[in-house]
């Protein structure tokens, strides 16, 4: 897992911090949503992963702005804009990954004095080890040099919690609660939609866990641990060399010896497949992929945002299907 703070330059640009003529967040004094935006709740999310989940819960009753919404964007190095700040200033609810992954959104929230009661952190909801400490550090240093390249902020936990299916079901429930508090008249709709989403997640978990029999005794290597929670749910062991993972986590070049060990691992054919993060690839990850392909080791690609032609459920369904196909090859 690459250290987010080591590889990000997500400190807001100077222009994004210039004073704007902002009216504040889109809430009334009692915490319910204002009628400013034609009755729809305004929600801003750090990536389209969370934007899609919010849309699944809110439907036509919400208008979602996902800041990072393309496979061509790297969420780790995203720099917020004036337009992003304007969107946040009008938001009734924010949804971030947290854990140091997307500090730009928390910085924006603080810059417009957003009530933290209406900022949901997926990492906090997931309850992963290290998450609370990372989130606290993120708040304490949101506008300080701790977000600069080369520093650490979240420890060695895996912040990619959108691949932790049960956590996303919990997030949907939390979103429904917040939307219901903002818009009590439509509380039943939000709760019903969240329940439907949770059922879909339960079905996905069953599919993933059903792979455990096929995955028994099998291991995988990963250029980054982006899909680690999903691989774990499928019963797979990640045997990526520690020195390789540590270098990736630090955002530095992988040492020659560690790179050689990683390539030898995939070339040996001892892993069921190579899990490949295609969204933040570089020369070294491409070299590992080439080694796997030369050895006829399957390569299963994963991304950090939802592809244009998918929603969260269909995206995860495809990921699980790709894992199943790789295990059969």
Confidence (pLDDT) at 170: 98
Number of other residues whose CB lies within 10 A of the CB of residue 283: 7
* pTM of the predicted protein model: 0.84
User: Per the CATH hierarchy, to which homologous superfamily does domain 4-205 belong?
Assistant: Nitrogenase molybdenum iron protein domain (3.40.50.1980)
R_g (Cα) of the chain, nearest Å: 20
List Cβ neighbours of 224 (8 Å cut-off, separation of 6 or more): 1, 2, 248, 277, 280, 285
Question: Phi and psi dihedrals of 237, rounded to 5?
Answer: -100, 130
How many Cβ atoms from other residues are within 10 Å of residue 285's Cβ?
20
Q: Spelled out in words, what is the top-level CATH class assigned to the domain 211-328? A: alpha beta
Exposure on the CB side of residue 323, measured as CA atoms within 13 A = 33
Dihedral angle sign, alpha carbons of residues 140, 142, 148, 150: positive
Residue indicated by tokens 């929230």 = 109
Please list the rounded mean pLDDT of every run of 10 residues in the chain (329 residues).
39 40 49 57 98 98 96 83 97 96 94 96 89 47 35 59 98 98 98 98 97 93 95 96 86 93 97 93 94 97 94 98 95
Label residue 302 left, alpha or beta by phi (over 0 means left) and psi (-120 to 50 means alpha). beta
Q: Where in the chain is the domain with CATH 3.40.50.1980?
A: 4-205, 211-328
Beta bridge partners of 120: 95
Residue 70: what pLDDT?
85
Strand duo 119-121 + 237-238: pairing: unpaired
pLDDT value for 24: 45
Q: What is the pLDDT of residue 115?
A: 94
Query: Of 67, 16, 251, which is closest to residue 154 (Cα–Cα)?
Result: 251
Rounded CA gap, 290 and 285, in Å? 9
Sign of the CA dihedral 166, 170, 176, 178?
negative
Beta strand spans in 72-204 (E): 93-96, 119-121
Greatest distance between any 2 Cα atoms in the chain: 63
Q: How far apart are CA 227 and CA 270, in angstroms?
A: 20
Phi, psi at 47, each rounded to 5°? -135, 170
């Amino acid at each position: 897992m690459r250290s987010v703070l080591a590889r990000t330059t997500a400190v807001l640009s100077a222009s994004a911090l210039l004073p704007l003529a902002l009216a504040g967040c889109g809430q009334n004094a009692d915490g319910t949503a204002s009628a400013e935006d034609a009755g729809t709740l305004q929600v801003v999310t750090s990536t389209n992963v969370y934007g899609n989940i919010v849309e699944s819960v809110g439907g036509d009753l919400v208008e979602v702005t996902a800041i990072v919404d393309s496979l061509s964007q790297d969420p780790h190095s995203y720099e917020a804009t004036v337009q992003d700040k304007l969107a946040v200033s009008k938001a009734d609810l924010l949804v971030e990954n947290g854990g140091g992954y997307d500090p730009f959104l928390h910085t924006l929230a603080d810059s417009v004095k957003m009530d933290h009661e209406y900022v949901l952190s997926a990492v906090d909801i997931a309850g992963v080890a290290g998450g609370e400490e990372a989130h606290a550090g993120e708040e304490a240093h949101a506008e300080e040099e701790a977000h600069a390249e080369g520093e650490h902020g979240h420890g060695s936990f895996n912040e990619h919690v959108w691949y932790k299916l049960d956590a996303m079901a919990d997030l949907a429930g939390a979103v429904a609660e917040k939307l219901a508090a903002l818009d009590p008249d439509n509380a039943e709709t939000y709760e019903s939609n969240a329940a439907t989403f949770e059922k879909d997640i339960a079905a996905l978990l069953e599919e993933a866990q059903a792979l455990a029999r096929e995955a028994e005794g099998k291991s995988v290597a990963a250029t980054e641990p982006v899909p680690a929670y999903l691989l774990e749910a499928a019963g797979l062991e990640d045997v990526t060399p520690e020195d390789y993972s540590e270098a990736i986590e630090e955002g530095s070049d992988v040492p020659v010896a560690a790179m050689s060990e990683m390539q030898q691992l995939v070339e040996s054919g001892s892993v069921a497949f190579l899990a490949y993060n295609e969204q933040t690839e570089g020369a070294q990850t491409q070299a590992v992929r080439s080694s796997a392909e030369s050895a006829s080791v399957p390569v299963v690609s994963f991304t950090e945002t939802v592809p244009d032609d998918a929603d969260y459920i269909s995206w995860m369904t495809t990921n699980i299907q790709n894992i199943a196909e790789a295990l059969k090859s």
